[in-house]
Structure 1
Amino acid sequence: MVRPTAIHAGATDRVAEFEDFVASRATRLLTTAYLLTHDHGRAEDLLQTSLAKLWLAWSRVDEPDAYVRKVMVTTYASWWRRKWRGEKPSDAVPETSASQPTRDPDMWSALARLPRGQRAVLVLRFYEDLTEAETARVLDCSVGTVKSQSAKGLAKLRIDAALVDEGRATR
C-alpha cells in the first residue's frame, strides 16, 4: 500500500520541476510567442495556454522544450484558423516591454509580413536555434518543407523594402 505522504511528496517534486522549467525559460518562450504572433498580449496568451497544456502532460513529457514549442506553434495555428481574429483596439496605446524584441524593429516588422509557415520556420530555426530536423519535428512536417520554407522566407526578407533601403538585407 502506498502511503499518502509518498503521493504528496511526488506531486510536490513534480510541481517544483515544472516551476523551475517555467522560471528558467519563460522569457525566451515569451519572445518566441511574440515572434509568432507579433502582438504582446496574444504572445502572453499563447505562452500561458501552451504552459497550461504542458502542465497537463508534464508527467509523460520527455522533452519539455520541444513539447512546449510544438504546442505553441499548433495552438497559434488553430487560433489563426478561427474566423474571429481577436479584438481590434480603437486607439494605439504605446506599450514597451522587456520581453519584446527591440534589437532591430525593421527586421521584426519584415518577419511579421511573412506568411505564418515561413515565419514559424525562421523563428524556430534562427531564433530558437533548432536544427532542420528539430524544426520539422516541432512543425510536424518534413525536413524538405523546413528547407523550402526557410529558403522562401529568407528570399522574401532579402527583398523586403524596409531592410533593402538600409542595406541590411540578409545574405
Structure 2
Amino acid sequence: MLVLPESERLVDATVEQFHDVRAIGAGPMIGKVALASQDGGLMEPGAQVMLQRGDLVLAYTVAGPEALASIVDHPEVAAHAAGHRRTGVNLASLALTALRSEDVRGRAMQAPYPRLRALLRAIGDAPYEADESRDIRFCLPDEDGRERWLRLDEIQLPPTTPAAWPHS
C-alpha cells in the first residue's frame, strides 16, 4: 500500500487480489483518510483504517517499521525484487500518462512534488506504448535529438530533481 500523508490518501493497487473486491471491478483502492495522530505524527501501529468499496468494508491495520523489514528482507521478495521494481516503474508510467491529461495536468503541476513535476515536463505529450516485455516506454529525443523509446527510469531529469525513493 502507498501512503500519501500530505494528501491524506491511501492507495492499494493490490486490493483486487481478493475475489469479492475484484468482482466489483473498480480498480485500485484510493481512499481519503486522516492519517495524523493526535500528536501530529503519523498514525500509530495497530490503528485501523476502514474504507468502503461497494457493499464491502475493507479494514487496513497500520503496521510499524518492523513490518517493512520483515517484508523487504523476506527471501521471496528479494528473489523477485527486479520484477517488483519493473512493475512499479510501469505503474508509475501509467499514472503519469493519466496525470498529464488536459483536465488534470494543471493540478498535478501544482502538487508539492518536484520529481512529479519534472517527470511530467520530461514526458510532455510524448507517445507511449508497451514493448515486447510489456514495459511502458515513452518516445523521447535523446541527447543527440534522435527519438528513442525509454522506460521512465531511463529518462534523464535535471540534476536538481530530488532522487527517487529510497533517498540516498
Higher helix share: 1
State TM-score, norm by structure 2: 0.26
Structure with more relative contact order (C-alpha pairs < 8 Å, separation 6 or more): 1
